[in-house]
Amino acid sequence: MALQVELVAADRQVWSGEASLVRARTADGEIGIMPGHEPLLAVLQTGEVKIIGSGAEGITAQVDGGFFSVDHDRVTIVAEEVEVGPAASPSSSH
């Protein structure tokens, strides 16, 4: 089972694909979403969003706030501005 993730900036779709984990900083603190998570709507804080792909794909992005929605293994992240960094992978946490 995998998450279907969409990362969207105000002017474009930044990334879309399957992920095994999504991490972000919300107004209530850092959150990690895995398949099977209960529905959630949260306000994003400025900071890093890490999407760890089901395979080798995935991204790390800096967002300037926005919102984060989870429903039935679908994660939607919407921010005014998104700056994409290097690919995220499970081994990148050295």
Phi-psi label, residue 82: left if phi above 0, alpha if psi -120 to 50, beta otherwise: beta
- Domains of the chain in start order, with CATH, are 3-88 (2.60.15.10)
pLDDT digits (tens), the chain, 94 positions: 899 999 999 999 999 999 999 999 999 999 999 999 999 999 999 999 999 987 767 899 999 999 999 999 999 999 999 999 865 444 433 3
CA 41 – CA 4 distance, rounded (Å): 16
45 sits in which H/E element: strand 40-53
Q: What is the pLDDT of residue 32?
A: 97
